[in-house]
Homo-oligomer: A and B are copies of this chain.
């Protein structure tokens, strides 16, 4: 940095790197270089500003001399990243009695005095740091009395007259801004926005364009795209005879930019000015490779661009803008991909309430998690699960949620809670799940026992009533309100096509149901990476048979129950195969512990006992007998598969029979079967023997040949370490990074909520390892496993399923490990694909990043 001047003129032929002078200085330099009418400006470098804060003032007099002695300038902050904020812009620096007198002549006394008085007030409060209350009695009406009063207060408080030397003023302004940047509040605020502890600030000193005076004069702001959609349109305001952002101030009757029936417009006042702005914007768009928003001033008919920044844009607009820029040749496709934050796609993918639809709001609360959903009210997690099992959308309504509700939240379409804040359990979890959620809803009272929700005006909702929850706006509405379906074609589709072009890792979806599978196909996945079969057993009719199996006395009885589940499973799989149309479908064999299928409450056990004509004591005893201290580490997965082999045999048969069926109707299907919770190679060997036998039997019965691929889910640290052994009988390994993270950390995800935020805040964990894959621990196990598996079987297919498969940072890690594919929930597929494409683009073309206008 030392080779850069402490004070640098902005313009053509001047190197104004962002890292030295900040983003704004760089941007203004570009605009000047493009020949746009940006008033003369000089940047003070980050090291120079640090020097100023430490007491080393550069030569201010010669700096002011560069502006030709007229001496009125503005000072703006130029942090390295725009998001970090910075001290407030100060206008009219250099105004003193002398210049005031001149301005009186030029602008008239009222306007000149208004300006001077405003400057005195701002300088007093923001630079001299006087208490603003000291000036409370003064109303700046442009009168000499108001000015005199302001100057008098200044003198009384400071024990000296208001500074008359412009250099003196500017020196104080620079020092004040440099020091404000170092202040505790500013530091905390910018660190909250991701700034490093040594975040640097540059400053810009710019000739004032007054916005006052003869001819059309005034100031405003404008951008040429619609922030919500990114369509080309003109948005902004203009205020005649004003400066800076006065047009934005409430109470000021600012004009529209274009002709508008609601009021006056710049277009009417000065069509030339508008034409200039449009011309300038088009030049800037191509030259700066982005659509900008501008702060502009018209001084006696001449239009000046004082400041510029990337135009405001919603996530949806960001997609459109990036695609339009690329299609207009302003940026490359690679750069377009980098312009969209993958995580933000989520807002495009979720439905939103149609703002024009009629709706009866019955509760308002916090906007805990965006998106909208409607469904039947359920008051318990269990009810949510059984509702989901019947494919009946539901909204979980609770006083507040707790870890026990997590599975219910997974099953619900939306969440509404009576209590809780933005960091309550419900809010945190819902955001994690991408589930619309309103918390702390005022005006409702729940009675979960009676299963009612009562509003403050006495309206009573019962379980099963339909409501709509709008997490984007923090409201809950009666009945089903019209939604805007997410718009997944147009620019989005184009961007996704480009992402697919550069994405060099496979993307599959986790899909358990036909609906999931269809949704996955609509996002163009390369297959299903994880089909969890257990959800299939929670549907009412199947649950009963499942329970009969659990209560069976011996293998024969168990098999009889399973025989009744077989046709249902077969049609489940056949349907998935048909939807996926020849794309690979990876089916995980039954995984959960059996006790998940038994009721928990005494009442429900009594019901079950009645239904099965068993003494309730037997039901209780069975439930007790199956109860586990740590179900995650208990009798489930392959352990259950080997202890009760009939289950896997039934599932294998269902898969193979469905394979035969689907292959008859369409492309040949090669099912992938995955064994869960393996910790020793012999588990794979034994299951393989069972499944091979079933395959042989089905082949024999059907007379049709088919093949299948057997793989292992790597979820235990031991499986990762022994991946070389596992690979011998596994065509593929899929890392179940949810469980692998839980076991590597010794940390139950369901129970971690109680301390995870403390841990992340205290930086014990840099991030929640369930959101972003822990490279240092879990990542090392993945690395070891991949190496060993490939050494044992070079053609082995390696993948990650589980929620990390949809997380951009984790996907980058998977790419670096050379995994074949990631699998994530269908709605994260676009996010995953874009993230992978970005990672690939960054790897091949570092330079493209520079094209991002900051």
Contacts and interface: CB of A to CB of B under 8 A. Distances in A.
Interface in A161-195: none
Contact of A764 (B633, B686, B716, B755): B686
A721 interface: yes
Contacts of A686: 762, 764
A753 to B, nearest CB: 10
A4 interface: no
Nearest to A754: B635
A756 to B, nearest CB: 10
Given A634-B748, A739-B746, A746-B739, A683 B764 contact: yes
Interface stretch (A322-330, A773-781, A822-830): A773-781
A621 B715 CA distance: 34
A746 B642 contact: no
A835 B625 CA distance: 38
- The majority secondary structure among interface residues of chain A is helix
A764 B628 contact: no
A194 B568 CA distance: 47
A750 B778 CA distance: 25
Given A643-B758, A717-B743, A744-B717, A633 B635 contact: no
Contacts of A762: 642, 682, 686
A765 B680 contact: yes
Interface in A668-718: 677, 679-680, 682-683, 686, 715-718
Contacts of A752: 634
A85 interface: no
A844 interface: no
A631 B628 contact: no
Contacts of A743: 633, 717, 743-744, 746
A721 B777 contact: yes
A679 B751 contact: no
A630 B777 contact: no
Contacts of A747: 633, 679, 716
Interface string A762-786: 1111000000001011101100000
Contacts of A628: 403, 748, 750-751
Nearest to A774: B718
A32 interface: no
Interface-central residue, A403, A642, A743, A758, by most chain B CB under 10 Å: A743
Interface in A722-754: 722, 739, 742-748, 750-752, 754
Contacts of A780: 721
A750 to B, nearest CB: 4
A755 B635 contact: yes
A686 B763 CA distance: 10
A598 to B, nearest CB: 15
Contacts of A722: 776-777
A646 to B, nearest CB: 14
A642 B633 CA distance: 25
Contacts of A642: 755, 758-759, 762, 764
A245 interface: no
A404 B634 CA distance: 13
A445 B761 CA distance: 57
Interface in A629-669: 629-635, 639, 642-643
A402 interface: yes
Given A643-B755, A764-B642, A764-B686, A630 B718 contact: no
Given A642-B764, A717-B746, 13 more contacts: A403-B629, A629-B750, A633-B633, A633-B748, A634-B752, A635-B751, A679-B744, A680-B764, A686-B764, A716-B747, A718-B745, A721-B776, A721-B780
7 contacts: A402-B624, A634-B752, A642-B762, A717-B746, A718-B745, A718-B777, A722-B777
Q: Which 7 A-B pairs have the closest CB atoms?
A: A633-B748, A634-B751, A718-B777, A716-B746, A630-B748, A717-B717, A629-B750
